[in-house]
């Protein structure tokens, strides 16, 4: 028996889920809007009536019982017994039906069936009260007739709000009560005073009117809620699709950039090993063009990497005090060659200011803006201007380029957006300004553009970083000068290298030895690595590829650190730009260099890593 009950419950649940899924699939056109609304409305009606009927169960039991002491001495015993027997039977049936039906709207499988059963359950009770009027009222004194009228009127008023949402249920309960009570006017003029009969009829009319208005209000409320739920579901679906698309985009960028970075890194390796001066003049020009193309590709990969870092939420704002001249000088060195190659004048206006802010993020913002200006300017100049507004740093990049159409100005900060008229004229992925906007959001800066087609554009970045000409106002204690990089900048340092490509190992060794370092090539296999570590006194830095033949670089770095019982500075070189791995390396306090990258950049990163921990 228990098994059968369980199977029935399971079947009902599955049907309810199926019905719910049909409702949720409306946006896919499987059911028409009016059909869905009708099903939803019937479920709500069924739930409302069932809840109301359950709450009125005690009153349905007590009311007939109260009639016994009040009417016993006046009514024919046979009539009273017939009426009480009938009421007992129908109340039991009604109670059984009411508590068998589901009262939660979302769990109702067949709302039509539920409404039919409720109509039957309350209809037989209403018929019982009408039958009592016929069987008992003629024998009652006027006072007790009024009491009975009061009882059936109270039942009707309660039914007005409980059952009026479904007209069939409402009339099944009220008409068997109303018709016998009003027909008494035809029995005898003395049965009820005519003013009372008129008042009773008026009351019934008012009950019908209120019930009709309540039903209309209920349906409108349910329909409005249904539309809201549908709208919310559609918005939730669109949100989920947007999130899924963003995740898919991030995965695609990470996977695609990883697969492309591996061969690109090899190309950079071989280009670094080529001495252009030893080539014939014609081949030198070809090699120079190849290097320029590779530089452009590297810039594209850097853009993808920056997007991955921002998606991974690992970029942090590190404020420190610095002289604005340092930022301007670095910006000039990074962009002057590109500007000169296009015959553009690069003017940087920089007052003597001291800033408290993140110089590296500001440098990245300005480098992208200047590179964007150079790319879309064929003649004239690029002007970079630093100033202050309310003691906060303001940066401007103005060009004399093609300008941006007003209709496209609100789109230029979107990822992968490129203006139609310049799409075929310039290389790039359309990520530069998107990165700028996200970096501005990261540091709490405001960016806007003023542009006119054919005249040029001006990008204005208003930061929240404090800038002042006074060291005292900026709370400056000292300004650090950047370290100088000499030919033997890694003199005497022991650098452990783990790489499964022999060509790259030799390139690392050649580059680092020229910097004065002692290179120790370690194995990726644990047994061999344990033997090697026993012969090494100390390691200043670990340079390791991430994806090796048998393991990954993060595990080897942890093993080496455990062996020496200290957090040895470490650098991982990888083509993997996925947010999850960026977070992993950040937790391990391991610097990450993403392929493709030159050996000189790797050597410089090793030097900075060692200096930052010394």
Q: Return the pLDDT at 310.
A: 60
Greater confidence (598 vs 422) lies with 598
How does residue 251 score in pLDDT terms, banded at 50, 70 and 90?
Answer: low
Q: In this predicted model, what pLDDT tens digit does every residue of 35-87 receive, in sequence order?
A: 777 888 888 888 888 888 888 888 888 888 888 888 888 888 899 899 999 99
How does residue 549 score in pLDDT terms, banded at 50, 70 and 90?
Answer: confident
**Buried-exposed string 219-232: b where 16+ CB fall within 10 A, e elsewhere:** eeebeeebeeebee
Closest by CA position to 588, among listed 548, 547, 559: 559
Q: Return the pLDDT at 506.
A: 81
What is the location of CATH 3.30.565.10 in the chain? 309-468
How far apart are the C-alpha atoms of 52 and 118, rounded to whole Å? 11
How far is residue 73 from each of residues 80, 140, 192, measured CA to CA in Å? Answer: 10, 9, 21
Greater confidence (249 vs 24) lies with 249
**Buried-exposed string 48-83: b where 16+ CB fall within 10 A, e elsewhere:** bbbebbeebeeebeebbeebeeebeeebeeebbeeb
How far apart are the C-alpha atoms of 118 and 115, rounded to whole Å? 5
Mean pLDDT of 523-541: 91
| Total length of the chain | 614
pLDDT at 21 over 60: no
List of long-range contacts for 114-118, beta carbons under 8 Å, 24+ apart: 114/46, 114/50, 115/42, 115/45, 115/46, 115/49, 115/166, 115/168, 115/169, 118/46, 118/49, 118/50, 118/53, 118/163, 118/166, 118/169
Cis before 596 (ω within 30)? yes
pLDDT at 188 over 80: no
Tell me the pLDDT of the chain averaged across its residues: 79
pLDDT at 5 over 60: no
Tokens in use for 495? 């650098």
Residue 446: strand pairing partners = 462
Q: Return the pLDDT at 82.
A: 93
Instruction: Write the class of the CATH domain 494-613.
Output: alpha beta
What is the location of CATH 3.40.50.2300 in the chain? 494-613
Greater confidence (554 vs 24) lies with 554
Window from 47-51, 72-76, 209-213, 404-408 with minimum mean pLDDT = 404-408
Look up the pTM and report it: 0.41
Mean pLDDT of 506-513: 82
Q: Return the pLDDT at 241.
A: 72
Backbone dihedral region for residue 475 (phi beyond 0: left; psi -120 to 50: alpha; all else: beta): left
Mean pLDDT of 344-366: 88
Mean pLDDT of 345-350: 91
How does residue 259 score in pLDDT terms, banded at 50, 70 and 90?
Answer: low
Pairing of strands 456-468, 354-357: antiparallel
How does residue 486 score in pLDDT terms, banded at 50, 70 and 90?
Answer: very low
Is 30 strand, coil or helix? Answer: coil
Mean pLDDT of 517-529: 91
How does residue 403 score in pLDDT terms, banded at 50, 70 and 90?
Answer: confident
Which H helix or E strand runs over 323? strand 320-323
Closest by CA position to 355, among listed 467, 264, 268: 467
Q: Reply yes or no on domain 309-468 having CATH 3.30.565.10.
A: yes
pLDDT at 430 over 90: no
């Amino acid at each position: 028996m228990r098994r059968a009950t369980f199977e029935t419950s399971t079947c009902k649940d599955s049907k309810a889920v199926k019905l719910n899924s049909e409702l949720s699939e409306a946006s896919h056109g499987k059911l028409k809007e009016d059909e869905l609304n009708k099903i939803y409305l019937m479920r709500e009606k069924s739930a409302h009536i069932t809840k109301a009927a359950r709450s009125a169960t005690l009153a349905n039991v007590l009311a007939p019982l109260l009639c016994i002491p009040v009417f016993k001495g006046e009514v024919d015993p046979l009539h009273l017994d017939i009426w009480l027997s009938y009421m007992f039977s129908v109340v039991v049936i009604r109670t059984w039906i009411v508590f068998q039906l589901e009262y939660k709207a979302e769990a109702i499988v067949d709302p039509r069936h539920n409404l039919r059963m409720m109509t039957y359950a309350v209809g037989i009770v209403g018929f019982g009260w009408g039958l009592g009027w016929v069987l008992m009222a003629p024998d009652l004194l006027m006072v007790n007739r009024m009491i009975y009228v009061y009882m059936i009127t109270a039942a009707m008023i309660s039914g007005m709000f409980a059952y009026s949402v479904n007209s069939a249920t409402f009339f099944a309960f009220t008409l068997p009560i109303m018709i016998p009570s009003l027909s008494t006017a035809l029995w005898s003029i003395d049965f009820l005073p005519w003013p009372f009969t008129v008042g009773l009829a008026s009351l019934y009319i008012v009950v019908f009117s209120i019930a009709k208005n309540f039903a209309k209000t209920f349906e409108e409320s349910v329909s409005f809620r249904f539309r809201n739920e549908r709208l919310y579901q559609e918005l939730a679906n669109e949100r989920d699709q947007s999130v899924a698309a963003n995740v898919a985009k991030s995965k695609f960028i990470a996977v695609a950039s990883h697969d492309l970075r591996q061969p690109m890194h090899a190309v950079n390796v071989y280009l670094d090993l080529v001495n252009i001066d030893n080539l014939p003049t014609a081949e030198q020009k070809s090699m120079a063009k190849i290097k320029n193309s590779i530089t452009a590709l590297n810039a594209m990969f850097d853009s993808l990497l920056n997007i991955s870092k921002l998606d991974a939420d690992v970029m942090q704002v590190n404020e420190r005090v610095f002289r604005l001249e340092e930022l301007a000088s670095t910006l000039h060195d990074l962009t002057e060659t590109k500007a000169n190659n296009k015959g553009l004048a690069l003017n940087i206006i920089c007052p003597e200011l001291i800033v408290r802010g993140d110089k590296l993020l500001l440098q990245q913002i300005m480098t992208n803006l200047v590179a964007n200006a150079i790319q879309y300017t064929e003649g004239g100049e690029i002007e970079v201007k630093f100033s202050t507004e309310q003691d906060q740093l303001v940066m401007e990049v103005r060009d004399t380029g093609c300008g941006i159409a007003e209709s496209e100005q609100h789109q230029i900060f979107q990822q992968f957006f490129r203006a139609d008229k310049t799409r075929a004229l310039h290389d790039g992925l359309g990520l530069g300004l998107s990165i700028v906007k996200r970096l501005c959001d990261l540091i709490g800066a405001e960016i806007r553009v003023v542009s006119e087609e054919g005249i040029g554009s001006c990008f204005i970045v208003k930061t929240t970083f404090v800038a002042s000409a006074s060291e005292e106002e900026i709370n400056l204690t000292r300004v650090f000068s950047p370290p100088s990089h000499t030919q033997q900048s890694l003199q005497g340092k022991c650098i452990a290298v783990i790489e499964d490509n022999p060509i790259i190992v030799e390139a690392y060794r050649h580059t680092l030895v020229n910097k004065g370092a002692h290179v120790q090539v370690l194995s990726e296999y644990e047994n061999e690595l344990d033997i090697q570590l026993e012969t090494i006194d100390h390691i200043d830095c670990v340079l390791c590829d991430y994806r090796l033949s048998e393991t990954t670089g993060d595990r080897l770095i942890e093993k080496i650190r455990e062996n020496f019982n200290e957090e040895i500075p470490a650098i991982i070189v990888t083509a993997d730009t996925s947010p999850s791995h960026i977070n992993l390396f950040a937790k391990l306090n391991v610097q990450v260099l993403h392929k493709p990258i030159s050996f000189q950049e790797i050597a410089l990163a090793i030097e900075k890593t060692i200096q930052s921990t010394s």
